[in-house]
Amino acid sequence: MKNIFQHIFIKHYKTYLFIFFSCSFIGTSKIVAQHFETRKTNEGIEILENGKKVLFYQQQPKSLNGKYERAGYVHPLYDLDEKILTDDFPADHPYHHGIFWAWHQIILNNKQIAEGWVSENISWKVVNTEIKKEENAVTLQSKVLWNAMLENKMQPVINEETNITVHAATENYRAIDFDIHLFALRDSLKLGGSDDIKGYGGFCFRLKLPKDILFTSQNKEITPQETAVSAGSWMDITGSFDSTSQSKKGVAVFDNSANPGQHGQWILRSVTSMQNVPYPGRTPVLLPRSGWHLQYRVIVHNENLSSADIEKLYRQYIQ
């Protein structure tokens, strides 16, 4: 009888031991594989995954010798190996800032009150930020007041509520969502792009541009033009962003099908400039108090992510 109980005890003890260590291993794997960290500095908030830098959110106003002051944008954006992909205050266009959203024409009662592209008569104040962590992602939530010069003093004209969500990286890519709400704080407020045939303005990304830069959409190479190019609802930009490495990296941008305006329009530049998903274009459009909702996904990836892979990721995104 004693031997029988010993046999049962040992058998079940081994089972419990196996379950215990199995669960411990699985739990540890989840934490290690999906560990996000945020670091707050005097300038803003940095997001890291497994100790590697992902992006930095510029919370405090930043300027270049007192000019082109800006806040509430992303720079640097890093690739999967922590190499910087974006530029800020570049010499050719010092009013470009990593990943940002800006409009040339800010109009109130049919009169232009500010130039949001070059930061004239406007300022951005990040009034609040919060971090929300989930099992497979981390979200930076920010509230930003856009202030314009009215009646000889700076007054709020737009309330911005933006969520930037970093998803857990895979071996080949990382997805980052930009969910932007803009609400007018005054009636008869309009936003518009540049007042020319280009009409650029809206969601912009200033990347470093190596000589071998290549634009691809839906498995077709896209040639930049002076005006907007009609292509698919996503654009992939690849090249040798890191001069110390022979491997190419890429940044794909998804234009959500729920966004307002015409889809598949891209302003692209292969040298010394930014890339833009233009909305609304040259003609200003009313920004109502109920607001605009703009959604984009950025895919930072290695060179072995194919066009078919990106198309599949886009289909998953819009579902």
Helix (H, G, I), strand (E, B) or coil at 190: strand
Taking the CA of residue 169 as centre, how many other CA atoms within 13 Å lie in the half-sphere pointing to its CB? 24
> Smallest Cα–Cα separation from 108: which of 191, 1, 204?
191
Q: Model-level pTM?
A: 0.89
Dist CA 217 CA 35 (whole Å):
32
Computed on alpha carbons and rounded to an integer, the radius of gyration of the chain in Å comes to 23
CB 202 within 8 A of CB 276: yes
Taking the CA of residue 196 as centre, how many other CA atoms within 13 Å lie in the half-sphere pointing to its CB? 8
Q: Is the dihedral of CA 36, 275, 70, 155 positive or negative?
A: negative
The full length of the chain comes to: 319
- How many Cβ atoms are within 10 Å of 224's Cβ, its own excluded? 16
Q: Is the dihedral of CA 184, 274, 276, 105 positive or negative?
A: positive
Distance of CA 77 to the CA centre of its chain: 8
CB 190 within 8 A of CB 279: no
Q: What is the pLDDT of residue 304?
A: 87
Dist CA 89 CA 98 (whole Å):
9
Show Cβ contacts of residue 101 under 8 Å, excluding neighbours closer than 6 positions.
Answer: 73, 180, 202, 203, 204, 294
Six token digits for residue 125: 């104040």
Q: What is the pLDDT of residue 165?
A: 98
Q: What is the pLDDT of residue 15?
A: 42
Helix (H, G, I), strand (E, B) or coil at 45: strand
> Smallest Cα–Cα separation from 214: which of 275, 278, 298?
275
Residue 16: DSSP 8-state: H
Distance of CA 146 to the CA centre of its chain: 19
Task: Convert 153-187 to b/e letters by CB count within 10 Å (16 or more is b).
Answer: eeeebbbbbbbbbbbbbeeebbbbbbbbbbbbebe
Using one digit for the tens of pLDDT, what is the confidence trace for 212-253? Answer: 999 999 889 999 999 999 999 999 999 999 888 778 999 999
Dist CA 258 CA 307 (whole Å):
22
Low-confidence ranges of the chain (pLDDT < 50): 1-33
List the beta bridge partners of residue 115.
120
Using one digit for the tens of pLDDT, what is the confidence trace for 114-163? Answer: 999 999 999 999 999 999 999 899 999 999 999 999 999 999 999 999 99
Helix (H, G, I), strand (E, B) or coil at 160: strand
CB 218 within 8 A of CB 311: yes
Distance of CA 212 to the CA centre of its chain: 23
Strands 173-184 and 153-167: antiparallel
Q: What is the pLDDT of residue 243?
A: 80
